[in-house]
Amino acid sequence: MKDIDAIAVLQDPVRRRLYEYVVAQGREVGRNEAAEAAGVARTLAAHHLDKLTQVGLLESGSRRLTGRSGPGAGRPAKVYTRARVERSVSLPARDYRTAAELLAEAAEQAGLDAVLCAAARRRGEGLRGSAAPCGGLEEAMEALAVRGYEPHVEAAGGEGGVSVVRMRNCPFHAVAERFPPLVCGMNLALLEGLIGADGPVRARMDARPGECCVVLEDSKNNEH
Mean pLDDT for each 10-residue chunk of the chain (224 residues)? Answer: 90 97 94 96 97 96 70 76 91 93 97 97 95 93 95 68 87 95 97 93 92 89 52
What is the distance between the alpha carbons of residues 106 and 170, in angstroms, rounded to a whole number?
22
Question: What is residue 81's DSSP assignment?
Answer: E
Q: What is the pLDDT of residue 1?
A: 66
Find all residues with CB under 8 Å of 104, minimum gap 6, and list them.
175, 178, 179, 182, 183
Q: What is the pLDDT of residue 159?
A: 47
What is the distance between the alpha carbons of residues 218 and 117, in angstroms, rounded to a whole number?
22
CB atoms within 10 A of CB 137: 19
- Quick one: which of 116, 107, 123, 100 has its CA closest to 191? 123
Question: What is residue 199's DSSP assignment?
Answer: S
Q: What is the pLDDT of residue 219?
A: 73
Q: What is the pLDDT of residue 224?
A: 44
By the 8 A CB rule, do 18 and 49 touch? Answer: yes
The model carries a pTM of: 0.83
Q: Phi and psi at residue 98, in whole multiples of 5°?
A: -65, -40
Beta-bridge mates of residue 92: none
Q: What is the pLDDT of residue 158?
A: 43
> Would you tell me the crossing angle of helices 13-25 and 42-54 to the nearest 10 degrees?
80
Burial of 35 per CB tally in 10 Å (0-12, 13-18, 19+): buried
